[in-house]
């Protein structure tokens, strides 16, 4: 899979539209991916209308990728459709719980990544929007998602209008453990992150944010504790609102 080794996340797209037939064809192929008990616990909302994309944009903080993308796909965990089928089949569904959300979220992410790989093979560029779980309520309202449907991730897609530097990755051996998890020594941590820290863009990041270390940019600016905690509470509240967290105790 040549495109994988050469891949870059693409955030700037040309104005060339992505034909809806192509999107539907790539999605249909992606539905061959593995799925929990062959239940296919996902729905994909495809947005190509400029106004509809603009309506999704605030939930994603108007980031570059959604401002120029000709198409935006919101991948949703969906136990609603399956539950409707159960009720029509004289069966009482029992999926208003966290494990069912996890099953559906896993199905959803597996399909999303399958779709992304197919799209990149077809010459398209994609970007995952992690903001999907930051502001799920806004997305739920905009896309009119019913109970037991939850937006898990969003893909912006289009023809690339940039060729950025390829992002660095940690040494593979730092991420693979043989037979059991071997905890890291301080030297192993240093070895894993030295290259990343040495990169000019990392140095730029540190300077721009007025920090001492690259890690401080992550802990104080990009993924800070208070933000994570606020997002966590909101996420759990929204899971509850969508019916996926109906536990007596927790």
Rule CB under 8 A: which of 101-160 touch its own copies?
Answer: 102-103, 105-106, 109-110, 112-114, 116-118, 121, 126-128, 130, 133, 142-146, 149, 152-153
Determine the size of the site formed for its own copies (CB under 8 A): 117
Contacts of 250 (CB under 8 A, 6+ apart): none
Give the residue with the Cβ less far from its own copies, 62 or 224: 224
User: Contact between 191 and its own copies (CB under 8 A)?
Assistant: no
Q: How far apart, in whole angstroms, are the C-alpha atoms of residue 12 and residue 29? A: 25
Give the residue with the Cβ less far from its own copies, 9 or 68: 9
One of 62, 163, 190, 204 touching its own copies (CB under 8 A): 190
User: Contact between 21 and its own copies (CB under 8 A)?
Assistant: no
Reduced to 3 states, what is the DSSP secondary structure of residue 35?
coil
Check the CA dihedral 66-67-69-74 and report its sign: positive
Which residue stretch of 11-19, 59-67, 157-165, 211-219 sits at the interface with its own copies (rule: CB under 8 A)?
211-219
Give the residue with the Cβ less far from its own copies, 14 or 209: 209
End-to-end alpha carbon distance in the chain: 44
Residue 247 CB, nearest approach to its own copies (Å): 6
Tokens matching residue 56: 């999704």
Tokens matching residue 2: 């040549």
Residue 163 CB, nearest approach to its own copies (Å): 16
Q: Single out the residue of 80, 98, 88, 72 nearest to residue 42, CA to CA.
A: 80
DSSP notation for 97-127: SHHHHHHHHHHHHHHHHHHHHHHHHTT-EEE
Which residues between 157 and 176 bind its own copies (CB under 8 A)? 167-170, 172-176
One of 162, 195, 208, 224 touching its own copies (CB under 8 A): 224
Which residues between 49 and 78 bind its own copies (CB under 8 A)? 49, 52, 76
User: Contact between 238 and its own copies (CB under 8 A)?
Assistant: no
Cβ atoms of 70 and 152 closer than 8 Å:
no
90: left (phi over 0), alpha (psi -120 to 50) or beta: left
Tokens matching residue 170: 């940690």
Give the residue with the Cβ less far from its own copies, 15 or 225: 225
One of 15, 21, 123, 181 touching its own copies (CB under 8 A): 181
């Amino acid at each position: 899979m040549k495109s994988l080794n050469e891949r870059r996340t693409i955030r700037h797209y040309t104005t060339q539209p992505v034909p809806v037939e192509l999107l539907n064809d790539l999605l249909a192929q992606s539905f061959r991916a593995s799925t929990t008990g062959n239940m296919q616990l996902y729905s994909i909302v495809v947005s190509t209308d400029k106004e509809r994309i603009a309506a999704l944009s605030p939930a994603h903080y108007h980031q570059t990728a959604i401002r120029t993308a000709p198409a935006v796909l919101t991948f949703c965990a969906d136990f609603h459709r399956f539950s409707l089928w159960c009720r029509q089949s004289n069966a009482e569904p029992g999926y208003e719980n966290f494990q069912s959300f996890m099953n559906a979220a896993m199905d959803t992410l597996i399909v999303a990544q399958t779709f992304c790989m197919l799209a990149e093979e077809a010459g398209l560029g994609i970007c995952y929007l992690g903001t999907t779980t930051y502001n799920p309520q806004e997305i739920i309202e905009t896309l009119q998602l019913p109970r037991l449907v939850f937006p898990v991730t969003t893909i912006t897609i289009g023809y690339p209008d940039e060729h950025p530097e390829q992002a660095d990755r940690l040494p593979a051996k730092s991420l693979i453990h043989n037979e059991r998890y071997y905890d890291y020594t301080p030297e192993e941590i240093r070895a894993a992150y030295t290259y990343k820290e040495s990169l000019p863009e990392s140095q730029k990041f540190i300077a721009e944010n007025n920090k001492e270390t690259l890690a401080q940019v992550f802990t104080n600016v990009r993924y800070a504790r208070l933000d994570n905690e606020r997002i966590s509470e909101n996420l759990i509240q929204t899971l509850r609102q969508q019916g996926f967290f109906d536990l007596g105790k927790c």
